Amino acid sequence: MDAMHADLLVIGFGKGGKTLAAALGRQGKRVVMVEQSELMYGGTCINIGCVPTKALIHRASGRPDDADPREWFADSVAWTANLTSFLRGNNFRMLDSLDSVTVVTGTAAFLDEKRVEVTAGDGRLEITADTIVINTGAVNAIPDIPGLRESTRLLTGTDLIVSPDLPKRVAVIGGGYQGIEFAAMLARYDVRTTVLEKGSRILSREDDDVAAEATTILQDEGVTFLTGAHITSVSDGTVHFVVDGVAQTLEVDAVLSAAGRVPNTAGLRLSEAGVRTTSHGAVEVDEHLRSSRPHIFAIGDVNGGPQFTYISLDDYRIVLDQITGSGRRSTSDRVAVPYTLFMTPPLARVGLTEAEARAIGRPVKVAAKSVAATAAMPRARIVDEVRGLMKFVIDASTDEILGAALLSVDSQELINTVALAMHTGTTATTLRDAIYTHPSTTEGFNEVLATIVR
């Protein structure tokens, strides 16, 4: 077995890990980056996550009325593959161009707390490192439904975005963020899409009024929802389920498992290193992202935190501060982390929902208005997208913005302004009375925040 030593070993080419590897490599530290597949240089986001899914959503919105949806989808998959290949190459070169950084392609597993074995075919490499960062991300969860794993009709999101063959009828398992985003995309390619959700409604983490508005928009796009659906089995193209005690079936060409993603720790042999994991398989970390072995960190989706690329980037900042800085930065510094569900229009949210704020006893006032009724937001009419609503949850005593849900055109950008306002303590009144460009979507804040509905 060949052997090498590094100051820093990073397992997994995701956002936080590659940024950390590059930062320390530029400082002259000896860095080794291990990635299991050359098709994953750059990590989940650019290869099988954010970039390709959003590219396909964008391409769906641009389909001409006279374009065959299946041909358009195949062209979109090819276009997206070219995009991800370009980004993947850039990411590889970012590290490969640094003299002190070595990229190793192979499967990593711990031998002990200091040694990691990397295998590729018949080749074996033993790497020792002073600091090790686990950055292996997450993998698609497959629910424990009889027949599902064995079904030839089973698809994951990863499968869907790389195949040019578009199914005509798809059952989507899960009415959470992942399931709804894929359902919205499929419907825009004229796929007969049915979402099966075991709960009483989709988007269970959102307020009732926000979820209801999203449901209406998606139904208008052609998505069918079966809520309260308990799936009993999957056999070939038939999904068997029960609603209100009544057994039913659904015939489809594909079953898309969209029940979330789970930390990718299988095969790492973490027990050999004495690294503890949670009941969900995530690497257990403290507020500085150190595992049960202080020199081993875990960043990104693998540590069980919010599964967002920008959280992985902030993980990098925390670990870099631990290695080369003051060591004060931690996960407790995070305030008002926003996120976006890329349906059309997008649903972006930050902070507390109304239900959450009331549940913890905050004195709440709500400012909300539909986009169609908001006169001071002409951009929505200019781009012909007046569906949705804006909702702010405000502390009635302090005027503090507790949270916001923006279901509107451009909401993926607007939510960052709200998050920054929350982070800096900017009040709802200040956000309401700010001067915004025209015509823009942001100027809708002037009108919406002036409307206290309850």
Active-site amino acid positions? 438
Q: How far apart are the C-alpha atoms of 366 and 207, rounded to whole Å? A: 12
**Cβ-contact 363, 400 below 8 angstroms:** no
Could you give phi then psi for residue 226, rounded to 5 degrees? -120, 100
d(Cα 46, Cα 160) in Å, to the nearest integer? 15
Handedness of CA 172, 176, 182, 187 (dihedral sign): positive
**What are the b/e assignments for 48-84, b being 16+ CB within 10 Å?**
bbbbbbbbbbebbeebeeeeebbebbeebbeebeeeb
Amino acid at residue number 377: M
* Strand partners of residue 231: 241
Q: Are strands 229-235 and 254-257 parallel, antiparallel or unpaired?
A: unpaired
Residue 254 in tokens: 């594909």
Amino acid present at 51: V
Alpha helices, DSSP H, located in 148-231: 157-162, 177-188, 208-220
Q: CA 88 → CA 41, 73, 99, 183, distances in Å?
A: 5, 22, 19, 27
> Which amino acid, 215?
T
Is beta strand 389-395 parallel, antiparallel or unpaired with respect to 154-155? Answer: unpaired
